[in-house]
Amino acid sequence: MKVLHVEAGKHLYGGALQVVFLVRGLGAEGVDNVLAAPLGSAVAEAAAPHARVVQIEMGGDADVGMLGRLRRLIRAERPDVVHLHSRRGSDLWGGLAARLEGVPVVLSRRVDNPEPRAWVGLKYRLYDRVVTISEGIFRVLEAEGVPRTKLRCVPSSVDVEQYRPGRGERAWLEAEFGLAPDELAVGMAAQFIARKGHRTLLAALPAVLAAHPRTRFLIFGQGPLREAIENEARAAGLVDRVLFPGFRQDLPRVLPNLDLLVHPAEMEGLGVALLQAAACGLPIVAGRAGGIPEIVLPGVNGELIEPGDTAALARHLNTLLGDAALRARYGAAGREHVVARFSVAAMVRGNLQVYREIA
């Protein structure tokens, strides 16, 4: 079987990282993978050992030329299946290209934000199957009118060998980020966009720091709101308690040495950073949104808040920061849950089954 994958994301996190996991696993199963990726993208470089990579111009939803470029690639490669892994124009133009060339097409849907129902009725006719990375997204699409027979849920995965607890490098973490040995370290790893809930966290911090003044918050990531969030933290007098280290490639080293992860998202397809943190044995406090409740089980491996509930966020953070034994118990349960349900092997098998249905 030959599969042409189309990924329009340039950076190696979230969905793009899942594509690398997928082509690696499919290659081990004998699938011939071709990946169309943007010029100079990190995902193209990372996937090169596992797929034949074709870098093309991808200009987003308004880039009508993507239609022709993808049609020519499909004609040249003659795949059995086209798998569209992202939006940014690849979903629409890729779907049209595959349809016009008569090749079965699969779309991965990774976000839970709703689309206009009329648009859903037109767009999703293009796809033979739609793979959702969480049951939450499955329910959103079904409610919008996508036929249940067309939907398949294949959860995103985490490399549980790369992300694991017990690296024992707390001294390195303290030196790297300027932490004192007696300080607790709370992480958040997310794009700086409104729905990730950075402002909810900032609003909860005064109550948390009043109870646990020897706590530092490390907010990792990049995005359009980063400068604004940093300015708001500075204006609130939080600059010495909140660090903004930017996008890090070494999260497998960073995460196991934190004390917990916070992710007060208002919308979230699933949350790869949550899978990574749980695999590293971290307790999690997160928003009850999208697929997050499939990862964070209240009272088992973390706690959930209603989106925007700063009081609940502060309360749960204070409870966990004050109880090392509870953090350890939640962390161990989180690791066990992720290994059982969100392995790379299970994600590969699920997608391969979808290809076999339609090829």
Residue by residue, pLDDT tens for the chain (359 residues) are 999 999 998 887 778 889 999 999 999 999 999 999 999 999 999 999 999 999 999 988 899 999 999 999 999 999 999 999 988 889 999 999 999 999 999 999 988 888 888 888 889 999 999 999 999 999 999 999 999 999 999 999 999 999 999 867 999 999 999 999 999 999 999 999 999 999 999 999 999 999 999 999 999 999 999 999 999 999 999 999 999 999 998 999 999 999 999 999 999 988 889 999 999 999 999 999 989 999 999 999 999 999 999 999 999 999 999 999 999 999 999 999 999 899 899 999 999 999 999 99
pLDDT of residue 11: 82
| b/e burial code for range 278-306 (CB count within 10 A of at least 16 → b) | bbbbbbbbbbbbbbbbbbbbeeebbbbbe
Helix (H) or strand (E) holding 185: strand 184-189
Rounded to two decimals, the pTM is: 0.81
> What's the rounded Cα separation, in Å, for the pair 192 and 220?
9
Q: Do residues 219 and 196 touch, judged by C-beta distance below 8 A?
A: no
d(CA 105, CA 99): 8
Structural contact between residues 61 and 92, judged by C-beta atoms closer than 8 angstroms: yes
Q: For position 255, what pLDDT does the model report?
A: 97
Q: Specify the pLDDT at position 13.
A: 75
* Cα atoms found within 13 Å of the Cα of residue 284, Cβ hemisphere only: 37
